Structure 1
Amino acid sequence: MKLNKNRKLLLILIVGILCFYGFKNYAEKVKDEHSIATSISSKLYDFNTFELTVDSNLNLSDFKVVNQNSGTTIFAYGKSRKGIDNDYGHRLFELYYKDQKLYEFGHFSTNNWYTFDYNLNLNKVKNRIEPDLKIMRGKNESYNDFFYKRFEYNENGKLDRISFLTLGKEVYNVKEINE
């Protein structure tokens, strides 16, 4: 009797695991379509990706990226990690170089089932690190309310000013820090 009960439990466990992975494979194929499967899978799985590349003058392991919405580190020690939830609204990120915040950047996601592939390329131009973020979602791009916020420090490492930049990196607002 006990052997039969253990077999049933094992069978239920195996079927459950197979269903979970089968649903994940199906959900990945329809991840950007509005359906019940996508609504459920966007809460269960993290299909968003984040890649960081740097030019030859920079060391990839000196950078860290934090998802501001959840507080999760999504890039550290030269490797990408999971941690970008599918949420409706602003998706905000912080870029750190040697533990000093350089940039905040983000965009507005118009649907909570959309997944994005974030590709951040960093170049050193005139002693300043310049980001170039590409946001891809299948065949479409999403730059709704896109922004960069640059943190500038003085020689002593103290925050001097914050510049707000457009997608094209034009400065549209500056906040001087006077402390």
Structure 2
Amino acid sequence: MKLNKNRKLLLILIVGILCFYGFKNYAEKVKDKNSIATSISSIFFDFNTFELKVDSNLNLSDFKVVNKNSGTTIFAEGKNRKGIDNDYGHRLFELYYKDQKLYEFGHFSTNNWYTFDYTLNLNKINNRIEPDLKIMRGENESYNDFFYKKFEYNESGKLYRISYLTLGKEIYNVKEISE
């Protein structure tokens, strides 16, 4: 009698696991479509990806990227991590170089079920690190409300200016920080 109960529990567990993985695979196939499966799966699964690429003059392990919406570190110690939720609204990220915030960047997502593949390319130009963010996939590939915010420091490491940049890196506002 007890053996039958254990078999039933094991069978329920196996069926549950198979249903979970089956739903996850199906949800990944329809992840950018407006459906009930997508709405539910966007709560439980993180299908967004983030990749950081640097030129040969930079060391990948010197960088850290934080998802500002959740506070989750999505890139550190040279490795990508999960942690980009599917939220409606601004998706904001912070780029740190040797524990000093260099940039804040982001865009606006018009639906909470849209997923994105982010690639952040960093190049060292004239002794400055220049970012270039590409959003590779998703229904909302336009750069709606896209921006960069650049943090500039003096020789002693004190923040003295925040520059607000467009997608094309044109400055549209500067905030000077007084000492």
2:38 corresponds to 1:32 = no
Q: What secondary structure is seen at the aligned counterpart in 1 of 2:131?
A: strand
Match of 2:111 in 1: 111
Q: What secondary structure is seen at the aligned counterpart in 1 of 2:136?
A: strand
Aligned equivalents of 1:22, 1:154: Cα separation in 2: 54
Overall identity of the aligned pairs, in %: 89
Q: What secondary structure is seen at the aligned counterpart in 2 of 1:10?
A: helix
Match of 2:122 in 1: 122
Match of 2:178 in 1: 178
- What does 1:47-126 correspond to in 2, within 5 Å? 47-126=47-126
Structure 1 moving runs of 4+ over 6 Å? none
Q: What secondary structure is seen at the aligned counterpart in 2 of 1:12?
A: helix
1:141: how far off?
1.6
Aligned equivalents of 1:140, 1:71: Cα separation in 2: 23
Aligned equivalents of 2:142, 2:87: Cα separation in 1: 14
Write the deviation string for residues 83-135 of structure 1: whole angstroms up to 9, x where unpaired.
Answer: 00000000000000000000000000000000000000000000100000001
Aligned length: 179
Aligned equivalents of 1:44, 1:7: Cα separation in 2: 29
* Letter aligned with residue 56 of structure 1: S
* Letter aligned with residue 154 of structure 1: N
Q: What secondary structure is seen at the aligned counterpart in 2 of 1:39?
A: helix
8 Å CA contact 1:109, 1:142 repeated in 2: no
Unaligned 5+ segments in structure 1 are none
8 Å CA contact 2:64, 2:96 repeated in 1: yes
Aligned equivalents of 1:16, 1:30: Cα separation in 2: 21
Aligned equivalents of 2:40, 2:142: Cα separation in 1: 22
* Letter aligned with residue 169 of structure 1: K
1:136: how far off?
2.1
* Letter aligned with residue 57 of structure 2: N
Q: Given the two structures, how large is their TM-score scaled by the length of structure 2?
A: 0.98
Aligned equivalents of 1:13, 1:139: Cα separation in 2: 36
* Letter aligned with residue 117 of structure 2: D
1:138: how far off?
4.2
Q: Given the two structures, how large is their TM-score scaled by the length of structure 1?
A: 0.98
Over the aligned positions, Cα root-mean-square deviation in angstroms equals 0.9
Write the deviation string for residues 9-57 of structure 1: whole angstroms up to 9, x where unpaired.
Answer: 0000000000000000000000000000000000010000000000000
